[in-house]
Structure 1
């Protein structure tokens, strides 16, 4: 069981935090500096664009599934998660419309309580209560808090630690 990625979206539908927990394969070949100066897009810029596109796709999926759940099941029904053969998407929305999304392996059970713990113990403590953190993340300016990132890393290690057999 493993976690693949984690996203936080604000009430304005902007991705304010994203983290990949799987290692990307190394690039096959590096380009020379002359190729980069000739207008070729650097690997880091391509990666940033791909991460942004991934976040948009994840939010679009959540938006559509939430709407479908409300239309088919009524206003009281909630979207919690869905599973494919490759991954499982877990969703948690706070009262302030902060949306936490986690992509894990399909075998992982319900992660709603884990997402609630991340929000209540890490995000609220290190981001919301921080006097240096902005209250609004205009234009997708993300959460840049080292304590939050470190706490999230340690929390994920504890939750997804391999169980002895």
Structure 2
């Protein structure tokens, strides 16, 4: 079993946590790439941008695309199946996306390889035993993650790393 990445979105649709366990080149392509020009109308190319900035922009773009995919699929499931149906996962030829939403509208999304079964219980355990214990109950953690401030908790990150390694 291979876990590629984990994304956590808050109720305001902000990506508050991203973790990747494999090299980006090994991660299946989940989007098509645009040309080398910047979208803000400048004549600079992508080669003029520092590598760290390009990486941050790519992570941000990936998070936005994943959230948009989840939003669209959830809406389609509700329209076709009714309000009782839930979106749990989908699979492509390259990866499988697992989805879990908490009662407080926190969304946990995990990308894995194709041979992994249902990860809903694993995502629930990450939320209940790690996120709630180390982030929600922490007096130093912000209650809202406004303006791009994400989860920056060493205990959560260490516990998540140990948890994922133990489930592999």
Instruction: Return the TM-score normalized by structure 1.
Output: 0.87
Question: Shift in Å at residue 23 of structure 1?
Answer: 1.9
Q: State the alpha-carbon separation in 1 of the partners of residues 163 and 143 from structure 2.
A: 24
- Alpha-carbon offset, residue 63 of structure 1: 0.1
Q: CA offsets, 1:40-92, max 9 Å, x none? A: 21101100000000000000000000000000000010000000110000000
- Ranges in structure 2 where 5+ consecutive residues have no aligned partner: 26-46
Distance 1:146 1:82 in 2: 31
CA distance in 2, matches of 1:116, 1:124: 11
Match of 2:104 in 1: 96
Q: Could you tell me how far 1:24 is from its partner in structure 2?
A: 3.6
- Report which of the two structures shows the higher radius of gyration computed on alpha carbons: 1
Count of paired positions: 147
State the partner residue of 1:128: 136
In structure 2, C-alpha distance between the alignment counterparts of 1:146 and 1:154, rounded to whole Å = 12
Alignment match, 2:22: 22
Q: Secondary structure at the match of 2:4?
A: strand
Partner of 1:35: none
Provide runs of 4+ in structure 1 moved above 3 Å. Answer: none
The CA RMSD over aligned residues, in Å, is: 1.0
Structure 1 gaps, min length 5? 26-38, 161-165
Choose the corresponding residue for 1:87, options 95, 104, 108. Answer: 95
